[in-house]
Amino acid sequence: MLLLILDILGTFAFAISGAEKAVRYRLDWLGLIVLATVTGVGGGILRDVMLGATPPAALTNPIYLPICIAGAFFYLAMRKRIRKIRVLILVADALGLGFFTAVGAAKASAMSAGPYSIILFAAITAAGGGLIRDLLVSEIPQVLKSDFYATAALIGGILFYVLDFANLGSVPQILITTAFTFALRLFAMRKKIELPKTRKKDF
């Protein structure tokens, strides 16, 4: 039940992020819904397909599409207010990152995946939707060029795996991973932390 709640919250948060980009590119309402949906459920679909958990939960549970549409039109209705306090979009995105990192790691662990797979699927679940979103608007995916984003998800996945050895139980493990990843992402944004970039002269 906890995983489903976190999955829904993450889906809504990421749908808002996808809608923000659709509005920025002045897409029509179909484009708005498409970007919100792929951002909200894209990472989870990639994870489930790669884990062999098919058909993916996002395609069998009827709640996910309405959640994405609700997130899209919530942003559309509130965009003028939200733009004045853009930090809310960034916080929502960071929350989605924390939720999906924990969900991705937990689902991989539940299917007896190894440590590297748990860490990888934490990042795929958290960053996969945003990657698809950026490709659809012909951008280099944000996770590959800037921000401490997928890296925060990878570190969150590592924490989830390490917490296995503490025998805390699944609920504390998921909640701690969510909170840590969320806090790490906010800290990185506040301090403007990024990974070193390659330069032409490096090659």
Supply the pLDDT for residue 84.
Answer: 62
Instruction: State the pLDDT confidence band at 36, using cuts at 50, 70 and 90.
Output: very high
Supply the pLDDT for residue 27.
Answer: 96
CA atoms within 13 A on the CB side of 153: 31
| Dist. CA 72–CA 32, nearest whole Å | 7
| Dist. CA 68–CA 17, nearest whole Å | 10
Supply the pLDDT for residue 161.
Answer: 96
Mean pLDDT, residues 93-105 taken together: 93
Neighbours of 29 (CB within 10 A): 11
114's tokens: 């190894």
| pLDDT for 131 beyond 90 | yes
- Angle of CA points 30, 135, 33, to nearest 5°: 20
Write phi, then psi, for 38 (nearest 5 degrees): -65, -30
| pLDDT for 21 beyond 60 | yes
| pLDDT for 77 beyond 80 | yes
Supply the pLDDT for residue 201.
Answer: 64
Length of the chain: 203
Amino acid type, 69: I
Mean pLDDT, residues 4-20 taken together: 91
Mean pLDDT, residues 104-112 taken together: 94
3-class secondary-structure state, position 167: coil
| pLDDT for 176 beyond 60 | yes
